[in-house]
Structure 1
Amino acid sequence: MSRKDNPQGTDNVLVDLGFDDAEELSAKAALALKLNELIDKRGLSQTEAATITSMTQPKVSQVRRYKLQNISLERLMQALVSLDQRVEIVVRPAHRARGSGITVAA
């Protein structure tokens, strides 16, 4: 994960900071935010969340702290599904104004 100069601001702070993997990090953060909201709403401990999501407790701890470097998008999506969520991936042509990229709405 290296940083580049990007003097012009965007709607993605990670892009603005120059992270090469900014779109993936943003997608992971959005999924982790939703996962953490569900864990909080259900009052689950990390151990309980780990059992339900088939993750290890240390992985749940990483998600809880948004340390997402060693957790795949797929793993986060599977964890959401195990918490009775529907995850949809939509692919459509990019509009010129916004360009190509990845967006997650959770």
Structure 2
Amino acid sequence: MSKGKAKIEFEESSGNVFADLGFEDAEELQARGMLGFHVVQILKARNLKQREIADLLGIKQAEVSHLMNGHFSRFSMDKLVDFLKCLDHKITIEISPHQQGEPYHQVAFG
């Protein structure tokens, strides 16, 4: 190490920032975040105004602002799934035995 340069400490992520930060419900928060992220990506691609988004999703314009700013904790997973249905996206739920080391909640997009 050269003089004057501090060693940077880092820790490899588990892939779930909520788990890395010690949240008890980390897997649900991660799944909700992924659902919310994709809702926002779809809305941005449609280039809609907040009023149009509110009408489309059946929510108040203030809630649209929270959604578009990534405040997904304000919405349940069910509500985010409803948004995807409003956006004409299919949702598939797969149930399978849990394997050690894998998350209980996973969200995959095709």
TM-score, scaled relative to structure 2: 0.80
1:23-78 Cα shifts (integer Å, max 9, x gaps) = 11111111111111111111111111110111211111111111122211100110
Residue 95 of structure 1 is matched in structure 2 by 99
How far apart are residue 9 of structure 1 and its match? 5.0
Distance 1:51 1:87 in 2: 21
Cα-Cα RMSD: 1.8
- Of residues 101, 104, 108, the one that matches 1:105 is 108
Residue 42 of structure 1 is matched in structure 2 by 46
How much identity, in percent, do the aligned residues show? 30
Query: Any residues of structure 2 matched to 1:1-106 within 5 Å, and which?
Result: 10-98=14-102, 101-106=104-109
Distance 2:33 2:77 in 1: 10
Unaligned runs of 5+ in 1: 1-6
**Aligned residues between the structures:** 99
Unaligned runs of 5+ in 2: 1-10
- Structure 1 segments, 4+ long, off by >4 Å, are none
